[in-house]
A and B are shown apart, each in its own frame.
Chain A
């Protein structure tokens, strides 16, 4: 991908899902914080909430809240590291610097996580990039800025006050699926229309068992994520963010 001086990335994530194991629980994961307390001083407990409603001869409702792990937040609040019993997520919030520095920090934290959870097999890897595009108003046509947008029939009025679109695109080249989500969000100023272009590229099969080989695959996912991004935007957008 071309380097953009005003890249619209507001958050980048690297994610690995692992099979839960009996010996790794929330208490075990808390030990990570003591190692990283200097760089990631703030911690928050993460929960998974499930609710179930059964109908039949009798109606019953059941809700459970399970502790899943910890979110550790860096001093400048730009980096968030989620250590969970079933996975690892590293987020870099704006300003995004480079893929290399982002990946390097994610890998460093992964190794710390792996020391606590060495046996969980990796079942899925993903990269996710959230981009915020502030399109100047008045907007003639979304297609001036985005190739991938909702298509409205020509006989209908062409104005949109809101939309949410999610596409699941199989990407055989990386044995994965790209989930492209686009939505209008509240604008950052009255002069623009703000669109989030959210690209999630995940691979959940044909995964190697060795961690080093798994991390090499992130290069493929990242490169293909760039292709998806470039495929979604027009030259006018490139001009806007260059």
Chain B
């Protein structure tokens, strides 16, 4: 049964990445290229699904966007003038064009 253990000696875990690519020596053969392709796919799959928002708390600190909450209820004043029954507007027939 697998469990979780800290690396020895303890190291600061800055961020959680789904796949470690950087710490492995670069392979030269086709199987190594295939592992790299699948690792990139797994990484992209992870980030495409918003996990970065959950795990990238450091990135979130740098995010300067200040959202403005929408105003749910607003009042608009209007004025109506009753001018009585109107006449139909003239319709011109010009189908030659």
Interface of A toward B, CB cutoff 8 Å: 10-11, 13, 15, 55-57, 71, 80, 82, 87, 89, 91, 93-94, 124, 126, 128, 130, 132, 164, 166, 168, 170, 172, 175, 177, 179, 181, 183, 185-186, 196, 198, 200, 202, 205
Contact = CB atoms under 8 A, between A and B. Distances in A.
A10 B18 CA distance: 25
A128 B5 CA distance: 23
Interface string B4-39: 011111000000001110011111111110110011
Interface of B: 5-9, 18-20, 23-32, 34-35, 38-39, 41-42, 62-64
A198 B35 contact: yes
Contacts of A175: 8
Given A130-B35, A185-B34, A10 B63 contact: no
19 contacts: A11-B32, A55-B64, A57-B64, A93-B29, A94-B29, A124-B23, A126-B24, A128-B25, A130-B31, A130-B32, A164-B41, A166-B18, A170-B8, A183-B34, A183-B35, A196-B35, A198-B31, A200-B25, A202-B23
Contacts of A15: 25
Contacts, number: 87
B5 A170 contact: yes
Contacts of B5: 170
Given A170-B8, A172-B8, A177-B7, A82 B31 contact: no
Nearest to A54: B62
A132 B35 contact: no
A89 B9 CA distance: 25
B79 to A, nearest CB: 43
Nearest to A166: B19
